[in-house]
Amino acid sequence: MNKYEKLLYKENENSLITPFGCTESSYLWTNENMYLYDNEDLKDKKVLTVTSSGDHALNAILNGAKNIDSFDINLYSKYVSALKIAMIKKYDYNAFYYRVNWIENIGGLNFNAKENMVEELKEYLTYDEYMFWKTEEYLRINNKICFYDIVNTNLYRNLNKYNNVYSYKKLRRMLGDVSIIYNDFDIKDISDNINNKYDCIYVSNILEFFLSSDKEYKKVVQSLDGILNKRGKIHGYDFNWNMNAKYIDKYPNNLDYKYSETKDKKCSEKVFVLQKIK
């Protein structure tokens, strides 16, 4: 059994303080309203983001970012993100969403009898990414695994800014000049794995899972503080702004941050920003 088979057979599961595991189905789309995030200029900015569906990185690219580091405890996330990026590079808007519909409804990358997407995308994938999807295809066709155990397709593509034709074309042009480096680790281990400093950090809704423990929350935010440049920003997402205490209230007293938020008027969700002011 090679390493890809072991990975796809989910032999790498581990326990964490958060409910996330390292071999869970990875989101194809974000579950956040990406329109709540500011359209700030990220040209020449250093960006760190959770990998997840890859949509935070794609949103950052639309805002001008060219050098992005991403991290995730889920070992599938980088492969799902890389697959989607390869599809955007390969296909125009209509062809991309036509194939996405197939993936969501059929649960596989064999688009039809004549077209194998893994082979079509080979030139846009690294060898590691290509071998992962080739192994997934072989195991799935032989009924060893289920596609939906690897890819979660149940979320909302229309929450992405590249869902419209204009932004999709812009993103497709910009992807040719972008570097995304994927890392496999949990946010609580970030200080042990990152040596860079960043202007923007996107943590999605991860911090929410540490709010119940002052000790763990303090450890995580101090790690983030240690890799953030002056005037840098930590962007987070809160699905329950009526329920959770403000994140700034739990920040260690020795950290000097400005807190701001943008709420979704239609539901109890918000984007919050912690900006380092010293």
Higher pLDDT among residues 215 and 225, named by residue = 225
Structure confidence by residue, pLDDT tens digits, 63-87: 999 999 999 999 999 999 999 999 9
Q: What is the arithmetic mean of pLDDT over 199-220?
A: 85
> Do residues 75 and 184 touch, judged by C-beta distance below 8 A?
yes
Q: Given its phi and psi angles, is residue 255 left (phi above 0), alpha (psi -120 to 50 degrees) or beta?
A: beta
- Cβ count near 143 (within 10 Å): 7
Q: What is the arithmetic mean of pLDDT over 215-230?
A: 88
User: pTM for the full model?
Assistant: 0.91
Which residues lie below 8 Å from residue 95, measured CB to CB, with a gap of 6+? none
pLDDT for 14:
46
pLDDT for 21:
61
Q: Is the pLDDT of residue 94 over 60?
A: yes
Q: How confident is the model at residue 241 (pLDDT cuts 50, 70, 90)?
A: low
Q: What is the arithmetic mean of pLDDT over 47-63?
A: 96
Q: Is the pLDDT of residue 113 over 70?
A: no
Task: Quickly list H helices, 108-164.
Answer: 117-120, 127-141
Which residues lie below 8 Å from residue 21, measured CB to CB, with a gap of 6+? 13, 14, 73, 74
pLDDT for 250:
62
